[in-house]
Structure 1
Amino acid sequence: MRALILTAATVALLAACKPVPPSELPAPAAPDAPAAPAAPVVDPPAVPPAVASPEAPAADPAPTPPTNDAGRAQVNQSIEEVLGDPALYEPAILAFQKAVAAHDAAAVARMADYPFNATLAGKPTKIQDAAAFVAAYDRIVTPAIAKVVTEQKYAELAVSGKGVMFGNGEAWINGICQDKDCKRVDVRVVALQSGEPAAAH
């Protein structure tokens, strides 16, 4: 009886281990084919910066305003023809504008020619010296006059025998002779007024 049971167990074991048909076995690798190398591990590529496509070129930068050198040269030529050396006038004009923009009463007073023609409370007034000019500065260089002086473009200055005019005549600069033959000239602010015709020197 025991032999029969063992024989049955052996038969069951042998049945579980029955061979796999050749058609179900995996195909062997070709002996001459080298194994494929493992794919290398690499970091993801960096995203390149945006570049305009050839079809759509990048927009040009905003244009800078022109300096109008031709206009400046024309003003200096007019100064030379009518008044004298523009190398004396241009620095004085620019210094005057800078001083007015800074509300530097003392600096503007130093540039004035005395007695100085001003308009106070609508009346032509002569300011006798720099101290009086500084004391009355805000009535002489009113906000309206200061605006004209500081916003005046050099290339648009008007030049005549009366001097260099700002705006519609709110300010005038002219050369003051320092000797009998007028060989030495001091460029000064000769009038500040509310745009009426200047009584420039």
Structure 2
Amino acid sequence: MKAWIPVLVMVLLAACKPAAEPQPESAPASTAPAGTAAAPAAPEPIAQTHGGAAAPTPAAAGEVDDHTGVNQRIGQLLGDATRYETAILAFQQAVAQKDAATVAAMIDFPFRTTVGGKPATIKDAPEFIAQYGRIVTPEMTDVIVRQRYSELFVNGKGVMFGGGEAWINGICVDQACSSFNVRVVALQPTR
């Protein structure tokens, strides 16, 4: 195999960006030390669907959902891919089980989202749990649960599910961003 082919594949993958991405409200990822993620506030809600694309379908029985490519991209852009993979899979499982407390524990508060079609700021976990069914709608649940790991979109702003219904990113623990926690930074309807 020619040495330039993997580079070409990475360039082509990098060119595949969604039509609508959330915009961070704080410092860009470039201000974080190499290998760590910036601490963006929750992205603004997105009004349109990502190119009208349907949510990815789950892997068929016996089919392997290869995490390698996504984990490489996470490692390059966001930091420790193992920490992201653990958080992503736990998030999907908690949403599938409608476990509001576990999802709330993964959120960076205060949290801007949409409740009943209107923008809202959720101040803490108890408020999120009380509003869970109005925030994580059945449609959003379906997109998050059906999302194939190998088809996650990754950029400097985080990891995107579906057409932007959910985003996960690293939140710096200290000023130097020497450590970070992987958190849900956006839950937003796109339809």
TM-score class, shorter-chain normalisation, is 0.5 to 0.7
Q: Tell me by how many angstroms 1:176 deviates.
A: 0.1
Q: Tell me by how many angstroms 1:87 deviates.
A: 1.0
Match of 2:148 in 1: 153
Q: Tell me by how many angstroms 1:190 deviates.
A: 0.7
Q: TM-score, normalised by structure 1?
A: 0.63
Q: Tell me by how many angstroms 1:120 deviates.
A: 1.1
2:162 pairs with one of 167, 178, 193 = 167
- For 2:111, the aligned partner's letter is F
Match of 1:66 in 2: 63
For 1:93-112, list aligned pairs within 5 A: 93-112=88-107
Q: Tell me by how many angstroms 1:65 deviates.
A: 4.0
Which structure has more relative contact order (CA 8 Å, sep 6+)? It is 2
CA contact (8 A) 1:118 1:126 kept: yes
| Ranges of 4+ aligned residues in structure 1 off by more than 3 Å | none
Alpha-carbon distance between aligned partners in 2 of 1:101 and 1:170, rounded to the nearest angstrom: 15
Structure 2: segments with no counterpart, 5+ residues: 1-59
Q: TM-score, normalised by structure 2?
A: 0.66
Tell me: CA distance 1:96–1:68, structure 2 relative to 1, closer, same or farther (3 Å). Answer: closer
Q: Deviations over 1:127-159 (max 9, x none)?
A: 100000000000010000000000000000000
1:86 pairs with one of 81, 87, 96 = 81
- For 2:63, the aligned partner's letter is P
Structure 1: segments with no counterpart, 5+ residues: 1-62, 197-201
1:77 pairs with one of 69, 72, 76 = 72
- For 2:159, the aligned partner's letter is V
Alpha-carbon distance between aligned partners in 2 of 1:115 and 1:139, rounded to the nearest angstrom: 17
